[in-house]
């Protein structure tokens, strides 16, 4: 995969929110690639900036949020500075978006059938009759029972999970090259989830569709993603092949995160949790943003900010893995 040119290149992305209380930096120097046919999973603390990263890519940052630095390129063409109208075409045809909130995508006043048909007739060379046939097929593909009967229903007549599946159908029906999927399976039961995941994987394999998959569900990540980025406080804390990040994480935050996954095989008296909470954007500590919660913190962590460097099997933004950190870090590494 590394010899192909990436489909998506995000470089040093910085997103800011000017507020009366000063400028908040929501994303700070975020860089990653997604190759054709590749699924990049994005996980991390709630509020870390996962949705923000997705919104920046599809050009839908909510004002006053704005891209204050860096570049985003799709198939070699910069898309972070396109005029609104041009970006709208890119968004429909080349990038499909599945939002965390299904209500923002679905228009409550139109039937789901009408919304699917309009999306297809806008972006594909087909007429309304064929589009309606395809709309029913898509609804069946995402597992809506009696699709032909329910195509003329309004969004509020569907359950939470069914609405989410309609949103997935809407994102896929124009056959985009890149899908930015923000929590696409959160509202779904395990069985439908398995079905949707299988569908997304088939698209990646057979049509070379790439995907940025934001989710809290490590099971979904383990099954779907090729690589995983772990975000914390507006930055990437760790990135690497899925197996290495999930099974052999290096960054102390990732280690804590993986340790919090509830087991299915037995009941715990108390779930493992990371003590404390992520800093507010207006109070990100100097040095490593994780340092107030990190069990391995040492002096350097409180003064210098770590960048992504090779760690055991991944890339991690952590001073433990910098040879220049000296003996203190080596001791902690040996213990960890």
Partner 1 sequence: MPDMIPAADTRPMLETQDVARFFDVSRPLIQRLLAGEGKRMLRAVDGVSFSIPKGTTLSLVGESGCGKSTVARLVVGLYRPTRGTVIFDGQDLAQARADSTQRRRMQMIFQDPYASLNPRWRVRDIIAEPIRAFGLLKTDAEIEARVAELLTHVGLSPLDGQKYPHEFSGGQRQRISIARALSSNPEFLVCDEPTSALDVSVQAQILNLMKDLQRELGLTYLFISHNLAVVRQVSDRVGVMYLGRVVELAPAETLFTTPRHPYTRALMEAIPDLDMTGRQRIPVGGEVPSPINPPSGCPFHPRCPLANDRCRAELPQLIPARDTPEAVVACHAVEEGRDGGPMPGVALAETGAAVAAS
Ligand X SMILES: Nc1ncnc2c1ncn2[C@@H]1O[C@H](COP(=O)(O)OP(=O)(O)OP(=O)(O)O)[C@@H](O)[C@H]1O
Residue (108 or 323) nearer to partner 1, CB = 108
CB 182 within 8 A of CB 231: no
The dihedral of CA 308, 310, 314, 320: what is its sign? negative
Residue (261 or 336) nearer to partner 1, CB = 261
Q: Closest Cα to residue 244, out of 314, 308, 309, 311?
A: 314
Pick left, alpha or beta for residue 318 (phi over 0 → left; psi -120 to 50 → alpha; otherwise beta): beta
Residue (62 or 86) nearer to ligand X, CB = 62
288 binds, among ligand SF4, Mg ion, partner 1, none (CB under 5 to 8 A by kind): ligand SF4
Q: Which stretch binds ligand SF4 (CB under 6 A): 12-20, 141-149, 264-272, 315-323?
A: 315-323
Shortest spacing between CB 234 and partner 1, in angstroms = 11
> How many residues sit in the footprint of ligand SF4 (CB under 6 A)?
13
Cα–Cα distance for residue pair 199/173, rounded to 1 Å:
12
Residue 32 is a binding residue for ligand SF4 (CB under 6 A): no
CB 295 within 8 A of CB 252: yes
Residue 306 is a binding residue for ligand SF4 (CB under 6 A): yes
Q: How many other C-beta atoms are found inside a 10 Å radius of the C-beta of residue 40?
A: 21
Residue 184 is a binding residue for ligand SF4 (CB under 6 A): no
The residue ranges that bind ligand X (CB under 6 A) are 17, 24, 26, 46-52, 62, 65, 100, 157-162, 187, 189, 281
CB 88 within 8 A of CB 45: no
Residue 227 is a binding residue for ligand SF4 (CB under 6 A): no
Distances from the Cα of 67 to the Cα of 70, 103, 123, 161, angstroms = 8, 25, 27, 32
Residue (206 or 269) nearer to partner 1, CB = 269
Phi, psi of 284 (to 5 degrees): -75, 125
Q: Which stretch binds ligand SF4 (CB under 6 A): 26-34, 194-202, 262-270, 288-296?
A: 288-296
Residue (120 or 171) nearer to Mg ion, CB = 171
Residue 160 is a binding residue for Mg ion (CB under 5 A): yes
For the chain, the residue count is: 336
């Amino acid at each position: 995969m590394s010899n192909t040119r990436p489909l998506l290149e995000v470089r040093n992305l910085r997103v800011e929110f000017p507020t009366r209380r000063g400028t908040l930096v929501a994303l700070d120097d975020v860089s990653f690639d997604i190759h054709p046919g590749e699924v990049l999973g994005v996980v991390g603390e709630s509020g870390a900036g996962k949705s923000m990263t997705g919104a920046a890519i599809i050009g839908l940052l909510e004002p006053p949020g704005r891209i204050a630095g860096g570049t985003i390129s799709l198939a070699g063409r910069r898309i972070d500075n396109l005029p609104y109208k041009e970006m709208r075409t890119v968004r429909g045809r080349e990038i499909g978006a599945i939002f965390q909130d299904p209500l923002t995508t679905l228009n409550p006043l139109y039937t789901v059938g009408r919304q699917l048909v309009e999306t297809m007739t806008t972006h594909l060379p087909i007429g309304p009759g064929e589009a309606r046939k395809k709309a029913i097929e898509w609804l069946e593909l995402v597992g809506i029972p009696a699709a032909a009967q329910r195509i003329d229903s309004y969004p509020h007549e569907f359950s939470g999970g069914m609405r989410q599946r309609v949103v997935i159908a809407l994102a896929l029906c124009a056959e985009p090259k890149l899908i930015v999927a923000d929590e696409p399976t959160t509202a779904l039961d395990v069985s439908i989830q398995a079905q949707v995941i299988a569908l997304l994987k088939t698209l990646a394999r057979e049509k070379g569709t790439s995907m940025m998959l934001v989710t809290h569900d490590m099971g979904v990540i383990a099954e779907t993603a090729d690589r995983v980025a772990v975000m914390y406080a507006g930055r990437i804390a760790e990135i690497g092949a899925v197996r290495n990040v999930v099974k052999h994480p290096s960054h102390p935050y990732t280690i804590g995160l993986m340790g919090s996954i509830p087991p299915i095989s037995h009941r715990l008296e108390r779930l493992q949790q990371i003590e404390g909470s992520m800093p507010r954007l207006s109070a990100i500590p100097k040095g490593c943003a994780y340092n107030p919660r990190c069990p391995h913190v040492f002096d350097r962590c409180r003064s210098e900010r770590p960048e992504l460097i090779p760690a055991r099997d991944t890339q991690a933004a952590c001073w433990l893995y910098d040879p220049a950190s000296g003996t203190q870090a080596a001791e902690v590494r040996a213990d960890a």
